[in-house]
Amino acid sequence: MAALVEGRTGAWEVVIGLEVHAQIISRAKLFSGAATAFGAEPNTQVSTVDAAFPGMLPVINRHCVEQAVRTGLGLDAEINLVSVFDRKNYFYADLPAGYQISQYSRPIVGKGKLSLDLPDGSSREIGITRLHLEQDAGKSLHDQHPTLTYVDLNRAGVALMEIVSEPDIRSAEEAGAYLRKLRSILRYLGTCDGNMEEGSLRCDCNVSVRRPGAALGTRCEIKNVNSIRFVMQAIEYEARRQIEVIEEGGTVKQETRLFDAGRGVTRPMRSKEEAHDYRYFPDPDLLPLTLDPAWVEGLRRALPELPDAKKARFIAAYKLSPNDAGVLVGEQSSADYFEMVAKGRDPKLAANWVMVELYGVLNRLGLGIERPPVSAAALGELIDLIVDGTLSGRLAKDVFAAMVETGKSAAALVEERGLKQVTDSAAIAGAIDAILAAEAGKVAEYRAGKEKLFGYFVGQVMKATGGKANPALVNEALRRKLAG
Ligand code: ADP
Ligand code: MG
């Protein structure tokens, strides 16, 4: 179901296609042996190929090809056994060769698909048009000198996958869900770290609007947006802008725009007339890339379990809700953590502890689940103490907080702090007798029909036992005594 946007003159449908540039995880560049580590001193990771010295020849990096094929397989896409590298020609200071090696008419990966998880628990398929390999350009530094621009070529030649979607996305929320899902798949595969702050994942957003059911409208392309939140803001703004233009009797001009994150608006960068003519042609330095079908099959068989399959398994095997399963499989490490906690335990209880208590602490401390403050084994032991009646659910939360703080085990903390739940019925009965004797007036009111006082008595007993009495036993014994 497509979310429509209400304009002054009726409803509009927003149409979005995304082009994502994903930096491949690889120690060396696409056509040279230079290193790719993030944050190195400028121009320390540049080979003569990257700097385009005369006569230097590109040599394809097999690992990067493997990463692109594995990504294609992870997107359920056709793998093209023959693909071609083209030169995309343009002049820019950070592009020493005067062209970028890319793929144009014959990309390495063809049509695929990606399934979006929607908030209502349903899913929707978005078509992938293609994935191709290309080199990144260098970087112009405008803030190093008052009048000069410096160039850093460390990034020049780094391998990118450009992943293009069909115009199947219908709202800013769906665009956000698409990017989160794509990033999750790339991370599971280990083909891109998905780090948008460091620029390993960048997104161009193509946006148009139309009346529901009408032909596609004219699109604008918003270049190089570098966070999911900004992608969503840029799309919201751009769709509104186009609707206003049309409703005021104008027409949308096809153009490239930039998102100004500070002001939350898009503004024109260049129009279609100024668009580059890249004069693509096959790079004469590189043969067509031919893949061995058996090698591709081997890569397919060795793929890890991906988020959709894992989610389906979590729902079937652990009886989790689609939403809970979706949250847990978002990152491979959180899925693994959950499975370790759930092993041999009540999965629903394990899921709650991971998603509520553990995630709460991770958020508060700004940590990722790869470095959890409490190990899966230690959390499992805590849950065992709840199940065997040693700890009430409430006390267990305190113990968990103490585990985070001290790094001690649940059992050690229970021992040390004397937190063992009171399940001894004689001790509970003693506490109840003392309270009822001290509160004779309230007991009389209760027996005369003021039933809501029951909660008050429970509270008093819990207080008297330092919160350690087993709540179920307290309830049961209180009812008996108040009735008698
Ligand atoms: P280009 O190579 O000029 O960027 P493409 O035809 O390859 O153009 O399209 C690029 C992206 O634009 C794709 O993600 C595609 O889905 C999207 N797209 C194409 N037409 C529209 C449209 N009318 N509205 C929104 N997105 C569109
Ligand atoms: Mg484009």
Question: Is the pTM higher than 0.85?
Answer: yes
144 pLDDT exceeds 70? yes
Amino acid at 249: G
The pLDDT value recorded for residue 393 is: 85
Beta strands 255-260 and 220-225: pairing type? parallel
2 pLDDT exceeds 90? no
269 pLDDT exceeds 70? yes
Q: How far is the CA of 406 from the centre of ligand 1 (A)?
A: 54
Split at pLDDT 50, 70, 90, the class of 287 is very high
CA-to-CA separations, 69 to 21, 28, 100, 288, in angstroms, rounded: 15, 17, 21, 15
pLDDT digits (tens, 9 = 90+) for 48-94: 999 999 999 999 999 999 999 999 999 999 999 999 999 999 999 99
Nearest protein Cα to ligand 1, atom 3: 221
Q: Where in the chain is the domain with CATH 1.10.10.410?
A: 425-483
Residue among 202, 219, 254, 270 to mutate when testing ligand 1 (max atoms within 8 A of CB): 219
Structure tokens, 165: 């979607």
pLDDT digits (tens, 9 = 90+) for 445-466: 999 999 889 999 999 888 888 8
169 lines ligand 1 (CB under 6 A): no
Q: How far is the CA of 116 from the centre of ligand 1 (A)?
A: 19
pLDDT digits (tens, 9 = 90+) for 370-389: 889 999 999 999 999 999 88
Burial (0-12, 13-18, 19+ Cβ within 10 Å), 134: buried
pLDDT digits (tens, 9 = 90+) for 154-191: 999 999 999 999 999 999 999 999 999 999 999 999 99
327 pLDDT exceeds 60? yes
Nearest protein Cα to ligand 1, atom 11: 17
What does CATH list as the number for 425-483? 1.10.10.410
Q: How far is the CA of 229 from the centre of ligand 2 (A)?
A: 20
The pLDDT value recorded for residue 380 is: 97
Alpha-carbon distance of 125 to 114, in angstroms, equals 6
String of DSSP letters for 253-269: PPEEEEEETTTTEEEEE
The pLDDT value recorded for residue 307 is: 97
145 pLDDT exceeds 90? yes
Q: How far is the CA of 118 from the centre of ligand 1 (A)?
A: 23
Alpha-carbon distance of 108 to 271, in angstroms, equals 30
Q: Average per-residue pLDDT in the chain?
A: 94
